[in-house]
Structure 1
């Protein structure tokens, strides 16, 4: 009777054991096979980690899904579109021994057919290559270029300086599959040179301000002269007009008109009427116009 009761419990255990084993198999399978998607604009390379085929596989995966076993294979994804990398400031010396701080920014891309060669040489993802080999190459390009300039000439020839840096960098990297598109520099001159540059800029600004004030003063002087000339001209015109009027008035004073005004003054009883005294009475004297006068 006891044996009959034990058998059913054993029958229930068998399915549970089977399900457990199946789950373990699925988990093991998932750990043995991995799927990764290589996005557009990237190149994936398949690297063998074990066996005689260790190294970079001949197959280059451009896009799509990649199936591999993480126990024996690794897949790295390299972007082949433009990358932008900024480096922290470091110091380089000019030809005359002045120290400059440079903080470069780099735009570049990797040739898709050179990805496997780059990984084969450095065995690192792109981010690690940027902070290692690429950073060293950038520093060397700046060091060599800066050493060809004195401090003053470097400040005065920023364009040619950056062009030389880029040429140095292209010479180092292009054959390896790194195509340099653009490099820009935040340049920090030494404190003494910076002070001299600031003083020069201040002097230039002061000179420009002085020139502006001189031009303004000259313009104001021209305005004042023009106004004075205008006033003088107006006075001359008024004086000429008055002189002309006086002349015309004098010309209009005929002898007859003088006599008429004399009579007008006499009629008003003015004391200015000429008189003469003869005997016991005074008589006025009036000069008559000659015969034929009008």
Structure 2
């Protein structure tokens, strides 16, 4: 049997294998855990942004391009100088944790591309920090309204990222640093305010105590006035007779002097 007639097919097959091997990286792809991908189809309408490719093995036409996104939670740290309401420079250290919205990777790629962290995330964080802190004074940011400032920055950053297909997981303001002279002035002012509040508290306490004593004294005076007005001679005489009778019934030894004392009352002398 003459095998030479199969030689062209063998050559074609070998060439095909070499071509397939050479193009394998352009045909086959693997999406790892924690990744999503989108395909750009050059001859079929461009970016297929509505069909996000999940993890796993797949094939594509060699002329199409695939873009892989890491959708695991990531973080960025930013140190920036911002201005307060009065134009004072403040140094802020911020950490943001985020990830792309899994099913919206195509739209994220269309609008920002694979460098979305630098073109979207960091600028939005910086913008939110600057805008919010520009509404407050350094003293408010440093002390009385720090919690409110942090909440507003988180809310504005989260809203902006969500509108652009990213989800914020957390935003942490690690530090807020003022110039030493300004910080010392603020701390001294806060100390004086605390001392003034403590002094006012003591004054209020003393006023309250004085008022309590005045009310108690007024009540006692009114009570004494009522008692004094009710102590008539007849009442006192009756109470004396009652007391004498009770003492007479007592088993304790006593001396009773029968006679007319003041108001006609007997005198009773006794001991145990």
User: TM over 0.5, yes or no?
Assistant: yes
CA distance in 1, matches of 2:162, 2:49: 24
CA distance in 2, matches of 1:191, 1:23: 76
TM-score, structure 1 length as denominator? Answer: 0.54
Equivalent position to 2:69, from 71, 78, 102: 78
Contact 2:49 2:107 (8 Å CA) reproduced? no
Contact 1:141 1:168 (8 Å CA) reproduced? yes
RMSD of equivalent CA atoms: 3.3
Corresponding position: 1:165 with 2:153? yes
Match of 2:179 in 1: 190
Per-residue CA deviations over 1:27-86 (Å, capped at 9, x if unaligned) read: 4223434322112332221222x224222254321121121244x222222233322222
Q: How much does 1:177 deviate? A: 2.2
Unaligned 5+ segments in structure 2 are: 1-6, 196-272
Give secondary structure in 2 for the equivalent of 1:60. coil
CA distance in 1, matches of 2:130, 2:147: 16
Give secondary structure in 2 for the equivalent of 1:96. coil
Corresponding position: 1:54 with 2:69? no
Match of 1:34 in 2: 27
Match of 2:139 in 1: 152
Per-residue CA deviations over 1:116-144 (Å, capped at 9, x if unaligned) read: 1111222x21xx11112211111110111
Q: How many residues align?
A: 185
Q: How much does 1:151 deviate? A: 0.7
Give secondary structure in 1 for the equivalent of 2:52. strand
1:103–1:91 CA distance, 2 compared to 1 (3 A)? same
Per-residue CA deviations over 1:216-237 (Å, capped at 9, x if unaligned) read: xxxxxxxxxxxxxxxxxxxxxx
CA distance in 1, matches of 2:105, 2:88: 39
TM-score, structure 2 length as denominator? Answer: 0.58
Unaligned 5+ segments in structure 1 are: 1-14, 208-294
